[in-house]
Amino acid sequence: MNLNSPLFDRIRTQRESRETPRETTIRCDSPGCEAEGAYRAPMGRLREGQYLCFCLEHVREYNATYNYFNGMDDASVARYMKDATVGHRPTWSMGTRRGQAGFREDHMSAVDPLGVYRQRFRRPQPAAPRRGPQHSPVTIRAFVAMGLEETADRETIRARYKELVKRHHPDANGGDRSREEKLREIIHAYKTLRAARLV
C-alpha cells in the first residue's frame, strides 16, 4: 500500500475541513449576531461557573444589565452578604485591624467581580419587582438566544418568536439559507420555553 498516495491526502483534507471550524468557533449568544463569542459572561447567582459567550459589543450590553441579585428581595440580599462575610472570612488577622469600610471593600471584590453589589450598597435602590421562580440554565439560555429578559411573559415571548422567525426565515431573505442555523436556534429556544411551560 502506498501511504504517499494522493488519495490519503484527499481523505485527510476532507476530514479536517469538516471538523475543524465547528469546534474552534463559538458564536455570540446574542440572537442575530454572527460575531465570535470570545467573551464569557457569568450566568448569575446559583449558576456560578456557568457562562454565556458574547462578542465584545454584546458582553458590554449584557454586563450593563446584569444583576447578580436578580430575584432576591432586599432582606435576602442583606442576609446573603452577612452570611458571605462570615463564611468567606472566618479569621480576622490580629494586628491588622482595619476600619469597617476597608473590610467591606475588600470582601466585595471577592464576591462581586462586576461591582453590582458595590453599586447597590452605595445608593438605595427602589424595591425590585417580584420575580418568578429561578429558571434552569437551559431556560436562561433560551431566553438569551431570543434576546428576551427572563421575566418576559407569554405574549412577549410569542411576539418575539414571530418577529425572529420572520427575520431569519429564508423566504424573508431572498432565499438566503445562511441564516438557517440561527432560525433553528430560535425554534429550539422557543421549544425549550414551551417545555418549561413559559409559553
Give the residues lining the site for Zn ion (CB under 5 A). 28, 30, 33, 35, 55, 58
Q: Which is nearer to Zn ion, 108 or 182 (CB)?
A: 182
Q: Cβ 182 to Zn ion, closest distance in Å?
A: 12
CB under 8 A, 24+ apart: contacts of 124-133: 125/74, 127/73, 127/74, 128/69, 128/72, 128/73, 128/74, 131/70, 131/71
Q: Which is nearer to Zn ion, 38 or 46 (CB)?
A: 38
Q: Cβ 183 to Zn ion, closest distance in Å?
A: 17
Residues 68, 44: contact at Cβ < 8 Å? yes
Q: Cβ 13 to Zn ion, closest distance in Å?
A: 32
Q: Which is nearer to Zn ion, 58 or 71 (CB)?
A: 58
Residues 62, 52: contact at Cβ < 8 Å? yes
Residues 160, 167: contact at Cβ < 8 Å? no
Q: Cβ 78 to Zn ion, closest distance in Å?
A: 35
Collect all residues with Cβ–Cβ distance below 8 Å to 55 and sequence separation of at least 6. Answer: 28, 30, 33, 35, 36, 37, 38, 39
Residues in the chain: 199
Burial of 137 (0-12, 13-18, 19+ CB in 10 A): middle
Q: Which is nearer to Zn ion, 33 or 77 (CB)?
A: 33
Q: Which is nearer to Zn ion, 35 or 159 (CB)?
A: 35
Q: Cβ 37 to Zn ion, closest distance in Å?
A: 7
